[in-house]
Structure 1
Amino acid sequence: MSSRASTAGNTDFRFIDRPDGKHKLGFPQNRTAQRGQRIAAGLMLIGSHARPGSRRLAGALLAAALTLAMTTLAAVTASAEEVVLRVGDQKGGNRSLLEIAGDAKDLPYRIAWSEFPAAAPILEALNAGALDVGYTGDLSFLTGVAAGAPIKAIGGTKSDPRTQAILVRADSPIRSAADLKGKRLAGTRGGWGQFLISATLEKAGIAPSEATFAPLNPVDAKVALMAGSVDAWAVWEPYVAFATLKDKARPIADGAGLTPTITFIVASDSAIATKRAALQDFLSRLNRARLWSLDHLDAYARNTAALTKMPEDVLRAAYTAQRTRPIALDEAVVKEVQDASDRATRYGILSKTLDVGRAVDRSFTEAALN
């Protein structure tokens, strides 16, 4: 059996040839540790033939060499066990927030960021075990829980519910929710869009069968609204600010009194069990950064615009309207989301009744907020 070495940095990965012609990857050995081992072996040989005084010197050198070898091996082992937190994000989301607020420095773990176009694929990745943590709106989170995803909410933020709105074109004859009867309404399926449409129709006394729901993501829904393919569009910030400022769309209803407007930080059950300290630190940093943003809305909008190429005036308007703040996942929050969950089940958005309390891990909240 022979071996061949492949070198990367200070680490040798040994491919060991087996009699059957196959290869196996040997344990990575650090070259500094190897030198220490060779020095130790040489000193042991010298010590066996040296005079007493020389033997004492050789013994001291041997101890030093062994210490070097063991220290290096410990460093290699620690490096191999580095915690990596796999985080799902969206454009202009938590990564931008942490970097702009200065809370992305000196992490005691490494973050592997993955950017997604919306919350739904983040939930899919969490369910598949491809992510440790991400964020999503309350209704999308509940949809994931109802589907059996092994996830928990570990933190959250709350925004002004008026920043969820149903928009129409500037020239639309629709003036209020009462005018939505018989209309085609676009929104995200299983999330804020579909829920706001259902809640708004219910409040206006319009049966679900008296309007048509068009399940579209925000990008496609905006195109459809401007083209006249749909009559109204249920969406959130910063889409609301962009549509009203740039496309002259009009809001005819909003989420006040209808939606919790909570964004949950969501972690997989596996990550909660194996990466708790990293999740706790990550959540604490997010909360600090979010509080910073409330006191620095202009700087937050300016820097996010530079990172995302989104219009600064749109972001400033969105952030000012939202006033997004970190919240404790306390009994009041659970009760509010439970009410929304029960209504979503009644609307047919959720497939079954949920116990929201069992989908929330409150153990992270107090330490994170402090």
Structure 2
Amino acid sequence: MTIAMSRRALLGAATLLATPAIARAQAAPRTLRVGNQRGGLRSLLEVSGLARDLPYRIEWSEFPAAQPLLEALNANAVDLGSMGDLNFFSVYSSGAPIKAIAATRSDGASQNIVVRGDSPIRSVADLRGKRIAAARGGWTHYSLLAILHKAGIPFSDVRFAWLLPAEAALAFRTGEVDAWSVWEPYTSLEVLNFNARVLADARGLTPSASVLAVHNDALTQRREQLLDFVRRNARGWAWAQGNRDEYARFTAQIIRQPVPVIQRAYEVSQTRAVPIDDALVREFQTAVDQAQAWGVVPQRVTVAEAVDQSFSRDLGA
């Protein structure tokens, strides 16, 4: 015998069946997938105590550098990550579905050209005809060109060796390259442990900024968690300004570097959270336009379309 159920009864049964699943989903904290570079976001939040009492779960993924992190972000394998401004804009310009929602700024002295202590090179002008190591497509690619440009040296007058830090450090110490365009804490390691000299830095030549970048899906689906993370990140950098030695000791243990190296790097960098406001957007646009003209960024970028300024407004910036 067939038993017919009313529409109301069917809806009621479906609601009863669905209720436990809905309740579990609402009760369970959402997960935020965060890409971390060693000694980066994770160490800052943990040492400052801001990784405690989260209203959501963080699923950390570790990356050795910005480029593989950006590849994971582009593929929607992570929701969020931090990287240098030009690394971000380079990948964004290729059509990646990502946006920058927050920023930090370091002193331009954290981007350097270094030479060995016994090098005869004494000025940027002495770099003519010399071989310089740098990582292609990011901060120190741009800052190297900016330093050369300021000194009136045509780029064709030097030889570039495009090397990642581990390869560049070996080439630099063994004399295979004459100079190295590098950033902190690598500069401090070379200065304190290998008697290198800072030849020039990028003060006044680059925004010296990093961004928190998110996949567009996370932007629409996890805004509440992202806003909380941005707030904690800003508070973490404020904490670091007043607790630099503790932060340095914690990070040095994680990345297995001498504490004095990290202390010097943090003192030079003076990293702090800054809003993505109209002034920073204009500064980014100037730098990105120049970077695109020099071939550091492959395509032109309209910075205002690559960033979401609403997070800065929500933070009261």
SS in structure 2 at match of 1:112: strand
Q: Structure 2: which 5+ residue stretches go unaligned?
A: 1-15
Aligned pair count?
Answer: 302
2:183 matched to 1:236? yes
Answer yes or no: is the 8 Å Cα contact 1:153–1:264 preserved in 2: yes
**Residue 279 of structure 2, aligned match among 332, 344, 347:** 332
Give distance in 2, aligned partners of 1:296 and 1:265.
Answer: 22
Q: Cα offset for 1:202?
A: 1.1
Task: Within 5 Å, give how 1:172-321 maps onto structure 2.
Answer: 172-321=119-268
8 Å CA contact retained: 1:143, 1:190: yes
Q: Do residues 349 (structure 1) and 302 (structure 2) align?
A: no
The answer on whether the counterparts of 1:241 and 1:317 sit within 8 Å (CA) in structure 2 is yes
Gapped runs of 5+ residues in structure 1? 1-67
How far the C-alpha of 1:366 sits from its partner, in A, is 3.0
Matched with 1:76 is 24
Task: State the match for 2:310 in structure 1.
Answer: 363
Name the TM-score, length of structure 1 as normaliser.
0.78
Q: Is the 8 A contact 1:186 1:193 kept in 2?
A: no
Higher Rg:
1
Counterpart of 1:243 in 2: which secondary structure? helix
Aligned pair partner of 2:65 in 118, 122, 139: 118
1: CA distance between counterparts of 2:255 and 2:134?
24
1:218 aligned partner, one-letter code: P
Q: Does 1:147 align with 2:66?
A: no
Q: CA deviation at 1:201?
A: 1.4
| Structure 2 CA distance for aligned equivalents of residues 335 and 122 of structure 1 | 26
SS at match of 2:247: helix
Partner of 1:16: none
Counterpart for residue 79 of structure 2: 132
Residues in 1 aligned to 2:141 and 2:231: alpha-carbon distance in whole angstroms: 32
Quote the RMSD (CA, aligned, Å): 1.7
CA displacement at 1:304 relative to structure 2: 1.9
Tell me by how many angstroms 1:193 deviates: 1.8
Distance 2:96 2:123 in 1: 38
The secondary structure found in structure 2 opposite 1:153 is strand
User: Cα offset for 1:75?
Assistant: 4.1
| Compared CA separation, residues 275 and 256, structure 1 to 2 (3 A) | same
Q: Give SS of 1:258's match.
A: coil
2:270 is the alignment partner of 1:323: yes
Alpha-carbon deviation of 1:73?
4.9
* Paired residue type of 1:262: A
How far is 1:77 from its partner?
3.5
Please report how far the alpha carbon of residue 357 of structure 1 lies from its aligned counterpart in structure 2 after TM superposition: 1.1
Q: Does the 8 A contact of 1:184 with 1:231 survive in 2?
A: yes
Q: Secondary structure at the match of 1:290?
A: helix
**Aligned partners of 2:275 and 2:178: how far apart in 1?**
38
Which amino acid is the alignment partner of residue 136 of structure 1? M
CA contact 2:38–2:254 (8 Å) conserved in 1: no
Q: Distance in 2 between matches of 1:189 and 1:115?
A: 22
- Which whole-Å deviations, capped at 9, do the CAs of 1:44-86 have from their partners, x for residues lacking one? xxxxxxxxxxxxxxxxxxxxxxxx999855543435x642111
SS at match of 1:171: coil
2: CA distance between counterparts of 1:136 and 1:74? 37
**Contact 2:90–2:299 (Cα < 8 Å) also in 1:** no
What is the letter of the counterpart of residue 137 of structure 2?
G
The structure-2 alpha-carbon separation of the partners of 1:74 and 1:352, relative to structure 1 and needing over 3 Å to count, comes to closer
Equivalent pair of 1:193/1:235 in contact (CA under 8 Å): yes
